[in-house]
Structures are given as structure tokens and as C-alpha cells.
Amino acid sequence: MRAVLRILDPPRNHEGSGSEMKAEFVIVGAGSAGCAMAYRLAMAGRKVIVIEHGGTDMGPFIQMPAALSYPMNMKRYDWGYKSEPEPHLGGRELVCPRGKVIGGSSSINGMVYVRGHSMDFDHWEEAGAQGWSFADVLPYFRRMETWHDGGHGGDATWRGTNGPMHVSRGPRENPLFDAFVQAGKQAGYQVTDDYNGQQQEGFGPMEQTVWGGRRWSAANAYLRPAQKTGNVQIVRALARRIVIEEGRATGVEVSRGGRIEVISAEREVVLAASSLNSPKLLMLSGIGPAAHLAEHGIEVVADRPGVGQNLQDHLELYIQMAASQPITLYKHWNLLSKAVIGAQWLLTKRGMGASNQFESAAFIRSQAGVPYPDIQYHFLPIAVRYDGQAAAEGHGFQAHTGPMRSASRGAVTLRSSDPQADPVIRFNYMSEASDWEDFRRCIRLTREIFGQEAFKPFVKHEIQPGAALQSDDELDGFIREHAESAYHPCGTCRMGRADDPQAVVDPQARVIGVEGLRVADSSIFPRITNGNLNAPSIMVGEKVSDMLLGLDPLARANDAPWQHPNWQIAQR
């Protein structure tokens, strides 16, 4: 049996006991970026304390890839956050899972691996994040990866070969996976062997953070090897605020076992607590919009109006089709079959349990004049929701789809000055007219793909939205009722120029106006990337770790990404 990760519980602070906990670097959050930084710092011989509120990640619900719908719905592993009632979605409160466990959200996510499009990062640099263009970040994506193509082709020269993060592809044995790619081709779209390589645009295999049949979370990839160095200590505690003395972060105040303690940082404090908890911690520490802090009686250390603002996410719909043949995963949607799959996985780490079942994907442009893809597809050979509810109709399949670059922006604010209180999360989804146009286009383009010859042997009828819904108003009603978060919140501590009043951190990830404090997670993204956020979040941890160590950044890459030659005049 693998050893269960030990959550170290060092001696408690007692006044005058001399047992103050301290390290060179204190990282808040053992998630995607936090684990990567802990690893790089530990390998360089630095002493690190990682503060994590959640517990061990060693349960089978986390480690078995096919069980992905369980951990994100379990209070034990999830912070349990919900949005405020969303005014443009009929007042619905949307769930917003964030990992409260070793590995953070990389331990409860769908294990989909997407770097993002090259133009995403070029936009970051244009927005003031100097040194974060695609040429700057590609070397870090390569450094973090060990890529396994699974015999499905791909773009080896663009990929990494000896990084901690193993990236693989599912077996794609179900004929529906190929039907999806063929249908895209028949509809006139590109086919790509590797959307993480030179060409993102097109239909092809999806990649997953699965290795040896297990979820390859940031904890498995980075934190366990880091712990073996003896340089990393994990403290299970709730971070309450950053301790700031004379304009410098000197530690983190935590509550643990009913006591309040301070964990001291000799060099720097790094927040990697998520795009929801990092801005919350900054505001609790007096860094944020001055008027908002004053409302809660918090003394202002640095008036940064951008803290908590610029909140972005991906919304998505499940376009579901009933299947005319019993070839979908629905045949396993019973206790006996689940037990057999679970037993096979426990004994061999093989079989259906060893994949997240997202094995085909696509990135397309919604219309002519869009320079790079703005619609993503996850294809799944069963009609089911993230909460594990299967479609009542039995055998079916679905495409998760939604616009990648919504114009809507929300905010994370404080509910109170109590560190135990959940933050107020307002995504403000669908607040821009362009979002409705984009979503309607997603639905109509998806219907066209499912109508191709490749799907003729498999399609019975459309489950949802349902063929009866055709007009803009009818589709808008469906979107309002059924759009769900893809769980990609980001942007709340935006990176930008030091003289940008809305920026929270500078291009070195340093909090503007406070010494010795950085933020390194998806909250620093100036704009959301094309795809799932785990890979770019880890990349942020990799890149910031070099900054913490005072190293020169990796040499810029000069690889030229592919762009559709007729993007200005053609949609496909």
C-alpha cells in the first residue's frame, strides 16, 4: 500500500515557548500552483511551510479518475461555495466547487489538461503582464510536463518529456469518440492531433492528468516528491490573514485546533489559495478597495481597488442526444457495474475506472473574423450532469460547450471580517448581450455537428435543448435555466503594470504596495485562458517559483503557433 500523506502537526505556539513555526517561504494553499512552487523551492534547498485547510487526498473517490463526480460534491473535499443569486440566470445560485484538500482543485477537477491558446498569453502581456507572452510561458509548460501520446500521434516537439506532470490520453475505444471527430471534419472544421501543440483549433483527442491509472494531481506530481526532500512541512490550518509589519508581509495568522497562531516567513509569503480565497485573504489583511474594507472595519494597508474584481469563469451547456444503439456508458450506470469497475481499478489501476471519460475534444471559432477559437467542446459518451444525475432517457451522449471569452465580469467581496465566513461571489454571468449571441451560436453549431453523417448510426433524437426549441427566445430560456459553471473562476488579483490602478500584482506576481508578498494562482490571470485552468495555474506556480528563487526566466521560445489562414473571412 502507498503511504498515506502525513499532515505534519508540529508543536503548537505557546507564549515564551520558543516554538514559533517559521520557514523561508510560507505558501497558503496546497493546490495546483502551491504544490508546484513547494516542489521547485524544496528542490533548490529552501525551507517551505505549506498551509492547507483541507485534509488527505488518498481516498479512492479522488484517486480513481472515473469517480470524478464524487469529490467535487463532497463537503470533506470542497469548500462548498455558491454564487449569489445570478440576476441574468433567473436568480439561480450556481455551485462553485474549490478543492479543500491536499492538491486543491487538482484533486477534485475533471482532470482535463489544456494549456490555453498562444494568443491568450500574448493578450496577458498586452494587458501589462510583461514577460508572460506565449514565447515566455511555453518553456514552462514544457518543463512541467511528461507527455504520453498513447500511440495517438501528436506534436512531440512542442511537448515536455521529463516534468513532474504526467499528461496522457484515454484509450478512445468507444466508437462515439471517433464519430465526434469525424463529424467535425465532415462539417468542414480542422482536425488536430494535439490541441496542446502547434495547433489548438480543430477536433481531436482530449488530454488528461492521469498516470498509472490514477488522478495525477498537483499533490501526486509535485508535493509528494517535495516532501521527500525534508524541506517541506504541511500544516493543516485555516489561514486568517497575512501579518504585515511596516509594509512588509512577515507571516500568516492561522487558526488550528481552536488556537490562533502565527507562522512566520523569513523571506516571502505566497498566496496560492484560489481565485476566491486569495482575494478574500488580501482583503482580510487590509489589501483591497479602501471603502469596502472600511465597511467591515478593516484597517487599510494598501488601497488596491482591483482586489476581488475582474472575476471571470466559463459557463457551459450540455447538448445531449439520445443514442439509437446501447453503446454508451449508461450500460455501466448501475451499482453492480460500478462495483466491478471499482474493484478492477483497485486491483489493477486499469479498465473504465482509469479514465475521466473525456477522450475527444474540439476548439472552434464561432464566426469569421474571430482570430482564434472561442468555443470549446468536451465530448462524453453518456448523457449525465456533473452532479452525477444521468439523463432519464437512458443511453445518450453529450457535448459540453460554451463561449471561451465572455465579456461579463463579476467580483469576490467580503461577507464580513470573520475569516470563517464564505466570501460573497457574484459572477454576473450573461450580463452582456454578446454572451447571449455567443451561446445561441454554440447551440446551433453543435446541432449541426451532431447532424453530420458520422453520427447517423448513433443519433436517436435530441434530449436537450430539444428539437422544439429553435427561436432566439426559446434558446435564451434554455440557457437561462440550464447554463452551468465549468468551474474555471479566475482573474480576481489581476496581474498588470505596477502603475495600473486596477492591477493587484506586478509581472513578478508581487502584491503592489506590500513587500514580501506574492500571489500565484489563477487569480492573477488578466483574462481567462482558452480551456480548463489547471495547466495554466500550474504553469504560474512554475514561473513564479523561479522569481522566488531569484533565477533568470527560462529562455523564450520561438515556436510559431498555427492560425487558420482564412480566419478573417471564414468560420471554418
* Residue 544, SS3 per DSSP: helix
Helix (H) or strand (E) holding 38: helix 32-43
User: What whole-number distance in Å separates Cα of residue 262 and Cα of residue 133?
Assistant: 37
Cβ atoms of 150 and 173 closer than 8 Å: no
* Per-chain mean pLDDT for the chain: 94
Give CA 64 to chain center in angstroms.
19
In a domain, 455, yes or no: no
Catalytic residues: 488
Residue 367 lies in a domain: no
- Give the pLDDT of residue 262: 98
Annotation: binding site: 101, 109-112
> Residue 255: what are its φ and ψ, rounded to 5°?
-115, 135
Q: What is the pLDDT along the chain (572 residues), one digit of tens a residue?
A: 333 333 344 433 333 333 579 999 999 999 999 999 999 999 999 999 999 999 999 989 999 999 998 998 899 999 999 999 999 999 999 999 999 999 999 999 999 999 999 999 999 999 999 999 999 999 999 999 999 987 767 889 999 999 999 999 999 999 999 999 999 999 999 999 999 999 999 999 999 999 999 999 999 999 999 999 999 999 999 999 999 999 999 999 999 999 999 999 999 999 999 999 999 999 999 999 999 999 999 999 999 999 999 999 999 999 999 999 999 999 988 899 999 999 999 999 999 999 999 999 999 999 999 999 999 999 999 998 766 666 667 899 999 999 999 999 999 999 999 999 999 999 999 999 999 999 999 999 999 999 999 999 999 999 999 999 999 999 999 999 999 999 999 999 999 999 999 999 999 999 999 999 999 999 999 999 999 999 999 999 999 999 999 999 999 999 999 999 999 999 99
Q: What is the pLDDT at residue 23?
A: 98
The number of distinct structural domains making up the chain is 1
Residue 376 domain-assigned?
no
If you count them, how many residues does the chain have? Answer: 572
User: 40 is in which domain, residue-wise?
Assistant: 1-62+98-148+217-306+493-550
Asked whether residue 557 is domain-assigned, the answer is no
- Classify the phi-psi angles of 369: left when phi > 0, otherwise alpha if psi is within -120 to 50, otherwise beta: left
327 within some domain:
no
Q: Which pLDDT score is estimated for 4?
A: 36
Cα-Cα-Cα-Cα dihedral sign, residues 481, 460, 374, 200:
positive
Entry pTM: 0.95
The rounded Cα 209 to chain-centroid distance in angstroms is 12
Q: CATH number, domain at 281?
A: 3.50.50.60
Decide: helix, strand or coil at residue 300: coil
Contact 380, 405 (CB under 8 A): no
Query: Residue 225: inside a domain, yes or no?
Result: yes
Whether residue 535 lies inside any domain: the answer is: yes
Query: What pLDDT, on a 0 to 100 scale, did the predictor assign at position 386?
Result: 63
CB-CB contact of 254 with 261 (8 Å): yes
523 within domain boundaries: yes
Annotated binding site for FAD: 101, 109-112
